[in-house]
């Protein structure tokens, strides 16, 4: 009888221990996940780029006469085009990881960076218009872009118009509905040109997608680099660092 009681007690002890271990793992995992998520949308990753000049430019080599968002020198040998859609999860992932790299090279003067609205999700048009309305507001464009990307990548929630208006409000950017309508129309024009260009570069409209990064050499008038799809930060850094 004693042996049976000991055996039963040992089994209960093991079950209790296993339950405690599971509980600890569950709670710890929850705390780790919370800590990871709570600090992930920190604008500190863009520290040092607050004063970067963001402007509209219609003089790009690959998409002339279209209003593109640009950052970097007025003229540069290398033009880097980033084709993106605010509702594209792979774009969000790429910006979340690599936006500081792109800004770093454009701030150095080595490249001119073009952010090309390529709206594959029609419902994202107003969000693009709102984001474009932040151009010229003390670096708020890239802050809003980063937060929108972080929202989609980390939380899996699209940066809809309501969210973008809230973000711009927190960044002290005031936009009028008329300006937003104008920028939506311009973003749509950019999208149409971008899709035609991408179809040419990809060789078929069936394979066009976002994100896509294109590096154009304006001196030799040729595309030097084509990075289709979501690309790791190391590949983007290597592609830009090794330009002649």
What is the structure's pLDDT at 8?
54
Q: State the average pLDDT over residues 35-52.
A: 74
Over range 193-217, report the average pLDDT: 95
Residue 165 pLDDT > 70: yes
pLDDT for 160 equals 98
Element (H, E) at 215: strand 212-217
Three-class SS of 26-71:
HHHHHHHHHHHHHCCCCHHHHCCCCCCCEEEECCCCCCCCCCEEEE
> Using alpha carbons only, what angle is made at residue 85 by residues 84 and 87, rounded to the nearest 5 degrees?
145
Please tell me what DSSP assigns to residue 172: T
Asked if 101 and 94 touch (Cβ cutoff 8 Å), the reply is no
pLDDT, tens digit (0-9, with 9 covering 90-100), for 170-190? 999 999 999 999 999 999 999
CA torsion, points 143, 144, 146, 149, in degrees to nearest 10? 180
Name the one residue in this structure whose structure tokens are 């129309």. Answer: 185
Contact between 243 and 213 (Cβ < 8 Å):
no
């Amino acid at each position: 009888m004693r042996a049976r009681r000991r055996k039963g007690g040992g089994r209960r002890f093991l079950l209790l221990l296993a339950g405690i271990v599971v509980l600890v793992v569950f709670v710890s995992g929850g705390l780790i996940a919370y800590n990871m998520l709570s600090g992930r949308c920190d604008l500190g990753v863009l520290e040092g780029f607050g004063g970067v000049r963001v402007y509209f430019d219609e003089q790009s080599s690959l998409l002339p006469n279209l209003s593109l968002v640009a950052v970097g020198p007025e003229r540069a040998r290398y033009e880097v085009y980033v084709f993106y859609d605010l509702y594209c999860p792979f774009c969000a992932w790429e910006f979340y990881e690599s936006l500081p790299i792109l800004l770093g090279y454009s701030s150095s003067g080595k490249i001119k960076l073009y952010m090309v609205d390529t709206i594959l999700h029609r419902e994202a048009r107003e969000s693009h218009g709102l984001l474009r309305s932040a151009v010229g507001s003390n670096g708020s464009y890239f802050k809003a872009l980063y937060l929108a990307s972080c929202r989609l990548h980390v939380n899996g929630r699209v940066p809809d118009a309501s969210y973008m208006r809230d973000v711009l409000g927190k960044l002290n950017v005031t936009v009028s509905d008329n300006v937003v309508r104008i920028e939506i129309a311009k973003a749509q024009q950019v999208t149409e040109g971008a899709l035609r260009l991408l179809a040419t570069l990809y060789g078929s409209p069936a394979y066009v997608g976002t994100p896509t990064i294109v590096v154009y050499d304006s001196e030799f008038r040729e595309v030097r680099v084509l990075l289709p799809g979501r690309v790791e930060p190391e590949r983007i850094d290597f592609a830009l660092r090794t330009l002649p």
